[in-house]
């Protein structure tokens, strides 16, 4: 059994096991692979689902893929935990 590849996670700020391979093609996939832990990637999967559902995105639409790539970059390398505009948690009362 091999030792997991460790990365200094840009999202969580500590040394953690990294992803087994780049999650996306291109430069963003490479940046995520080199700088994001598996734990932070799992957090992104929850955020991605929230974004897809909130905006009703279809991942067969190239524009939706572009939106998700931009959101992933913001989540990991930008102002991070921002929720979609107008989003409220299920069961929360809007004021």
Q: How do the domains of the chain map onto residue ranges?
A: 6-77
Q: Which CATH superfamily is domain 6-77 in?
A: Fe(II) trafficking protein YggX (1.10.3880.10)
Tokens of 38: 């598996």
Looking at residue 79, what is its pLDDT? 65
- What's the whole-model pTM score? 0.79
pLDDT digits (tens, 9 = 90+) for 61-95: 999 999 999 999 999 999 645 555 554 555 544 44
Report d(CA 92, CA 33) in Å as an integer: 35
Report d(CA 30, CA 61) in Å as an integer: 23
3-state secondary structure of 52: helix
Least confident span in 24-33, 43-52, 59-68, 75-84 = 75-84
Contact 40, 76 (CB under 8 A): yes
């Amino acid at each position: 059994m091999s030792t997991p590849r460790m990365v200094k996670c840009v999202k969580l700020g500590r040394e953690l096991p990294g992803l087994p391979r780049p999650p996306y093609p291109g430069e963003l996939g490479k940046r995520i692979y080199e700088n994001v832990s598996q734990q932070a990637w799992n957090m992104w999967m929850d955020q991605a689902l929230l974004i897809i559902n909130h905006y009703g995105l279809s991942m067969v639409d190239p524009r939706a893929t572009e939106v998700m790539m931009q959101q992933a970059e913001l989540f990991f390398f930008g102002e991070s935990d921002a929720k979609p505009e107008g989003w409220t948690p299920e069961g929360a009362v809007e004021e």
